[in-house]
């Protein structure tokens, strides 16, 4: 009975003390507990609790320094990474044991690496480089990711070795490429260039290498231009040995130059609008990717050849993309050729692209083109075609109403996707820093179909153009956070995946420029 009474009294005392009210209280409890389950339970609450979370850091460091419960060290590391207090970096570095083989301790290493990445702790680079050779693949990836997040060029050689290693897991090599992109050092450019064309056992590294190339930016321009012009003899020899045809080199180079190059790339891209290849599909890819890059570069010298190409292109999808490039360039000189292409088309599929570009470039004078298309549609006009024509009419009406940027800025919130699309292009061509917030709002607006998707893409492109002309400074980091949240919410959604990748590239650039 005496034992029961003592236990009861103990329970009453604990109850009287109550539960901690904030993160610091839970962290203090975790540090004071010797039992692993109690310590871990308290640490889980630290990550959920509100209040002054930085006040929890000293107690979390205390847990981190106790090697007796490796799982608790991992939980503490996760909390420290989320809190983001740089003062914890030294303790996190000291807690890593690259030689550890115990399962919980290996997992703790993984969480510590992620926390150091979140803290962008440059003092952790050496130990993180050692962790990339861990026997545990998950720990390797965590260390690679962390090196990319830290962003120190001192990690480039290690990441290059991983990306190009024939023994590294393809997933780890892909992660290394992405990390090189986040660091953005020109030293990585030759590796990224080669990995654009690398394949191992049917695995391609192009998506990751392309993303890295876009993040590295201008240092990639000259190497890619050399590939497009057939002047990279070493790469051509390497490609021949592996059966990679020249057209594949040209297509990938053309696709990326719009993200990293300047006006000096335009002549080479224009020349590829007339590219010929024994493989028709490859010929089309080179031409289309060259056209899209010319659009992103807003290369006016491409207007005439693009308009001519669009007029004679029999493939509806390719024609749409040529016309969209003309809309992005924004030169009304394309209108006569676009009108001729629209009036000469025998089907809606071939008329749609020229008409969409006309509605992005024209005004009141172009209304007859849409009226003629309505007449050609007949009665009843198919719903999709009728809706598209209605959007084009609204876009031209907006152009009649808007004669200044303030008006177009307001149109970014219009209920019609076609009007938002036109507004984004107008602001991208002539807008400034004060238009950035409205464009971000347009980008994060929910997308419910292809028209809304096109409007989002052009808003991304417009903000990219503006940021290149007038860096957004500290505001850019906040805009990047907004883009990241939308991308995270839509992860796994097929409709928005491609455009959101462009938005992610933009977010990375905005955040880097804000540092």
**Averaged pLDDT, 100-104:** 85
Quick check: 98 pLDDT over 90?
no
pLDDT value, residue 470: 87
pLDDT value, residue 460: 98
In this structure, how many other beta carbons lie within 10 angstroms of the beta carbon of residue 41? 15
**Averaged pLDDT, 330-342:** 95
Asked if residues 27 and 46 have their Cβ atoms less than 8 Å apart, the reply is yes
Asked if residues 336 and 310 have their Cβ atoms less than 8 Å apart, the reply is no
Asked if residues 266 and 302 have their Cβ atoms less than 8 Å apart, the reply is yes
pLDDT bracket for residue 30 (50, 70, 90)? very high
Asked if residues 117 and 149 have their Cβ atoms less than 8 Å apart, the reply is yes
**Averaged pLDDT, 197-208:** 93
pLDDT value, residue 514: 84
Backbone angles phi, psi at 423, to 5 degrees: -60, -40
Least confident stretch, 12-26, 93-107, 333-347, 398-412 = 12-26
Please give the structure tokens belonging to residue 386.
């009728």
* Per-residue pLDDT reduced to its tens digit, 278-298: 999 999 999 999 999 999 999
* Angle at CA of residue 201, ends 200 and 204, nearest 5°: 50
List, in sequence order, every residue forming a beta bridge with 200; answer none if it has no partner: 203
pLDDT bracket for residue 201 (50, 70, 90)? confident
In the chain, the percentage of residues whose pLDDT exceeds 90 is 86
Please give the structure tokens belonging to residue 100.
């550890």
* Per-residue pLDDT reduced to its tens digit, 240-283: 998 889 999 999 999 999 999 999 999 999 999 999 999 999 99
Contacts within 8 Å (CB) and 24+ apart, 179-182: 179/144, 179/145, 179/147, 179/148, 179/149, 179/155, 180/148, 180/156, 180/212, 180/216, 181/148, 181/208, 181/211, 181/212, 181/213, 181/214, 181/215, 181/216, 181/508, 182/148, 182/149, 182/151, 182/215, 182/508
* Angle at CA of residue 439, ends 435 and 443, nearest 5°: 170
Quick check: 171 pLDDT over 70?
yes
pLDDT value, residue 485: 96
pLDDT bracket for residue 166 (50, 70, 90)? confident
pLDDT value, residue 17: 53
Quick check: 146 pLDDT over 50?
yes
Asked if residues 189 and 219 have their Cβ atoms less than 8 Å apart, the reply is yes
> Mean pLDDT over all residues of the chain?
93
CA distances from 357 to 164, 315, 325, 337, 500 (A): 43, 17, 9, 11, 23
pLDDT bracket for residue 3 (50, 70, 90)? very low
* Per-residue pLDDT reduced to its tens digit, 444-493: 999 999 999 999 999 999 999 999 998 899 999 999 999 999 999 999 99
Backbone angles phi, psi at 324, to 5 degrees: -65, -35
pLDDT bracket for residue 512 (50, 70, 90)? confident
């Amino acid at each position: 009975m005496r034992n029961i009474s003592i236990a009861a009294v103990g329970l009453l005392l604990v109850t009287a003390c109550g539960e901690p009210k904030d993160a610091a209280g839970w962290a203090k409890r975790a540090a004071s507990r010797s039992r692993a389950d109690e310590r871990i339970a308290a640490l889980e609450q630290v990550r959920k609790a509100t209040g002054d979370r930085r006040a929890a850091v000293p107690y979390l460091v205390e847990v981190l320094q106790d090697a007796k419960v490796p799982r608790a060290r991992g939980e503490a590391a996760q909390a420290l990474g989320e809190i983001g207090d740089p003062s914890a970096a030294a303790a996190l570095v000291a807690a890593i044991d690259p030689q550890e083989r115990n399962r919980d301790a290996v997992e703790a290493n993984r969480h510590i690496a992620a926390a150091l990445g979140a803290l962008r702790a440059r003092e952790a680079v050496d130990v993180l480089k050692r962790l990339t050779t861990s026997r545990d693949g998950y720990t390797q990836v965590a260390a690679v990711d962390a090196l990319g997040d830290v962003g120190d060029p001192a990690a480039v050689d290690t990441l290059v070795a991983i990306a190009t290693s024939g023994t590294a897991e393809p997933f780890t090599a892909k992660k290394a490429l992405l990390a090189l992109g986040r660091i953005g050092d020109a030293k990585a450019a030759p590796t990224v260039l080669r990995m654009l064309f690398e394949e191992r056992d049917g695995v391609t590294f192009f998506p990751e290498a392309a993303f890295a190339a876009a993040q590295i930016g201008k240092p990639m321009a000259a190497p890619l231009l050399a590939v497009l012009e057939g002047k990279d003899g070493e790469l051509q020899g390497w490609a021949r040995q592996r059966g990679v045809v020249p057209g594949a080199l040209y297509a990938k180079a053309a696709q990326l130059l719009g993200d990293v190059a300047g006006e000096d790339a335009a002549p080479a891209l224009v020349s590829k609008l007339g590219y010929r290849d024994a493989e028709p599909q490859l010929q089309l890819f080179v031409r289309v990717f060259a056209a899209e890059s010319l659009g992103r570069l807003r290369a006016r010298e491409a207007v005439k050849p693009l308009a001519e190409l669009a007029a004679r292109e029999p493939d509806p999808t390719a024609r749409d993309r040529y016309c969209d490039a003309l809309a992005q360039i924004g030169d009304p000189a394309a209108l006569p050729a676009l009108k001729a292409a629209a009036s000469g088309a025998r089907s809606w599929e071939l008329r749609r692209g020229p008409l969409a570009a006309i509605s992005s470039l024209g005004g009141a004078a172009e209304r007859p083109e849409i009226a003629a298309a309505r007449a050609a549609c007949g009665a009843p006009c198919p719903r999709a075609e009728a809706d598209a024509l209605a959007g084009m009419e609204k876009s031209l009406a907006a152009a009649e109403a808007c004669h200044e940027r303030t008006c177009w800025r307001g149109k970014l919130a219009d209920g019609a996707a076609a009007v938002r699309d036109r507004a984004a292009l107008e602001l991208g061509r002539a807008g400034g820093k004060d238009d950035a917030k409205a464009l971000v709002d347009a980008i994060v607006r929910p997308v419910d179909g292809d028209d809304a998707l096109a409007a989002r893409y052009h808003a991304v492109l417009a903000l990219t153009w503006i940021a290149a002309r007038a860096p957004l400074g500290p505001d850019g980091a906040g805009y990047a956070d907004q883009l990241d949240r939308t991308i995270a919410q839509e992860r796994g959604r097929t409709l928005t995946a491609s455009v959101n990748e462009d938005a992610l590239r933009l977010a990375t650039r905005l955040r880097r420029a804000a540092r």
